[in-house]
Amino acid sequence: MAAWTDAAMVISAVFLAQWIRFGSSGEPDHFGGVGGPPVLVVSLLLIAAWLVALRVYQTLDHRIIGAGPQEYSRVVTACFSVFGLLAILVLAFRLEVSRGYFALALPLGTLGLLASRWSWRRHLVRQRHRGKNLERVLVVGEPGSVAHMVDRLRGSPALGFDVIGACLPKRSAATEARLRSGDGEKIPVYGDFDDVALAVSASRATTVAVTSAGALGHAAMQELSWDLQGMDVQMMVAPGVTDVAGPRIMVRPVAGLPLLYIDKPRYEGANRFRKAFVDRVGAAAILVLIAPVLLAVAVAIKIDSPGPVFYRATRMGLGNSAFRMWKFRSMVADAEARKGDLSHQNEGAGVLFKIREDPRITRVGHFIRRYSIDELPQLFNVLTGTMSLVGPRPPLPEEVKRYDGRVARRMLVKPGMTGLWQVSGRSDLSWEESVRLDLSYVENWSIMQDLVILWRTIKAVMSGDGAY
């Protein structure tokens, strides 16, 4: 269905651009006058080229549909590629075409395609939560790696993987009739590594996920891939690294072995400049749009309780440099002085101090915290360059002092107003999960991922889930 929707969006965008540019202007049906190419012919060729580009960039690959930013990234790349090629052809052959026509068709089509993919993604995620359109996964590997894989897949039901069983080494399969995941749920064991093909038939698996390729051996892995190819079953191999996204991974055959290359994180050089540009322009635009809201909130805070309108707290930024983070005050003026009396009620993760029903929060504070309005003044931090629109959660100085080498990698990028932590549970996250999400962002940053997170933030803020 996504293919039909793509075609409908492209056709609608092209003919809408044609109608806006030529339909009511009284211009001829040819570009540049009677001797130019017919408008209808150009529109049909553009539609055909656009649809071919979407296929060339594999935007309908079922492995990327429904989760992650790669689906959107491929759609955008296909759109800009086809129009870039057309621009080259127009210049090379000096064709008489209307720039306004193409300038209308590109954004209309791109936004339409992204909107339709987002709509289909929501529909697909709802179906997956109801147990439909799932890949039935058989996990093959050592018990520890199998349990880890099961926990990660079951923790993200929107990805569409239903783990239906496992195959373990002979020594494990002989002693364990059943395997348990991290939450204690039993996982059926269908045999050992020699029984994978039979287990696929018995379990009706559609995908086999190998978590311990070394334990199987090279010859067994090759034979398994051949067997699964004949059974029309997908095969996935866990490389042993976690939270590293596809753009950083390249597989290169070396001496007959498929070696996995992992690029360095892409937050230096031109990428950092692009991110800073998007941050500054985006923050300035948002501040202009919400200026009346900021004024109304400031007045409400001042009327509701005595004290300053803003709360400024010390946070640690890029390279462990301290800065003053701005927020609307949501607590009573002496909140810090009363913190010690409430230490026994702390529900925060790790070194964070959080209380679900904090008595220090004012009436206005409850409302602005629920919808994250108290964080809007951080846009001024983004403008001054101490924060980013998207990034890891800004940590307290006492947090940073307790960071080990792994967690300290959060400080390689600027902290953000929102991030993966914001759209994945906010205050309901455990300390370990919060750290994992921040590290995943740092390791796999991209402009498209930032745009997806910003979009998901709107939904998270409107629902108010995990905010207190």
- Looking at per-residue confidence, does 125 or 9 come out higher? 9
Of the listed ranges 8-17, 162-171, 250-259, the least confidently predicted one is: 250-259
Residues 311 and 454 both lie in one domain: yes
pLDDT at 461 over 70: yes
Residues 56 and 80 both lie in one domain: yes
Supply the DSSP symbol for 394. P
Bridge partners, 249 (sequence order)? 262
Does this model's pTM top 0.85? Answer: no
246, part of any domain? no
pLDDT at 61 over 80: yes
Q: State the Cα–Cα distance between residues 466 and 370, nearest whole angstrom.
A: 9
Domain boundary (85, 114, 129) is at 129
Across residues 417-427, what is the average pLDDT? 76
19, part of any domain? yes
Local confidence band at 452 (pLDDT 50, 70, 90 cut-offs): confident
Q: State the Cα–Cα distance between residues 463 and 254, nearest whole angstrom.
A: 50
What would the pLDDT profile of 237-250 be if each residue is shown by its tens digit?
A: 887 666 665 566 76
Q: For the chain, what is the domain count? A: 3
Instruction: Say which amino acid occupies 209.
Output: A
327, part of any domain? yes
Residues 302 and 417 both lie in one domain: yes
The predicted structure's pLDDT at residue 228: 86
Q: How big is the chain, counted in residues?
A: 468
The predicted structure's pLDDT at residue 52: 94
Local confidence band at 213 (pLDDT 50, 70, 90 cut-offs): confident
Supply the DSSP symbol for 38. B
Domain boundary (99, 129, 159) is at 129
pLDDT at 33 over 60: no
Residues 453 and 357 both lie in one domain: yes
The predicted structure's pLDDT at residue 417: 92
Local confidence band at 142 (pLDDT 50, 70, 90 cut-offs): confident
Residues 104 and 174 both lie in one domain: no
Domain boundary (129, 144, 178) is at 129
Local confidence band at 289 (pLDDT 50, 70, 90 cut-offs): very high
The predicted structure's pLDDT at residue 174: 45
Local confidence band at 191 (pLDDT 50, 70, 90 cut-offs): confident
pLDDT at 104 over 60: yes
Q: Which residue has the tokens 């409908």?
A: 8
Structural domain boundaries enclosing 217: 135-238
Residues 201 and 279 both lie in one domain: no
The predicted structure's pLDDT at residue 410: 81
257, part of any domain? no
255, part of any domain? no
Residues 29 and 83 both lie in one domain: yes
The predicted structure's pLDDT at residue 266: 64
42, part of any domain? yes
Of the listed ranges 140-149, 191-200, 310-319, 341-350, the least confidently predicted one is: 341-350
The predicted structure's pLDDT at residue 53: 93
Residues 348 and 228 both lie in one domain: no
pLDDT at 67 over 80: no
Residues 376 and 406 both lie in one domain: yes
What would the pLDDT profile of 365-416 be if each residue is shown by its tens digit?
A: 889 988 889 999 999 999 999 999 999 888 888 888 877 777 777 888 899 9
Q: Looking at mean pLDDT, say which of 61-65, 107-111, 263-267 comes out highest.
A: 107-111
Residues 377 and 455 both lie in one domain: yes
Local confidence band at 41 (pLDDT 50, 70, 90 cut-offs): confident
Cβ neighbours, 10 Å, residue 131 = 9
Across residues 124-147, what is the average pLDDT? 88
Looking at every residue in the chain, the average pLDDT score rounds to 81
213, part of any domain? yes
- Looking at per-residue confidence, does 379 or 261 come out higher? 379
- CATH number of the domain enclosing 233: 3.40.50.1980
- Looking at per-residue confidence, does 464 or 420 come out higher? 420
Any residues with CB less than 8 A from the CB of 6 and at least 6 apart, and which? 51, 54, 59, 60, 113, 116
Q: State the Cα–Cα distance between residues 178 and 174, nearest whole angstrom.
A: 10
Residues 279 and 344 both lie in one domain: yes
Local confidence band at 354 (pLDDT 50, 70, 90 cut-offs): low
Contact 151, 181 (CB under 8 A): yes
254, part of any domain? no
Residues 363 and 418 both lie in one domain: yes
User: Which of 136-166 are b and which e, b meaning 16 or more Cβ less than 10 Å from the residue's Cβ?
Assistant: bbbbbbebebbbbbbebbbeeeebbbbbbbb
The predicted structure's pLDDT at residue 263: 66
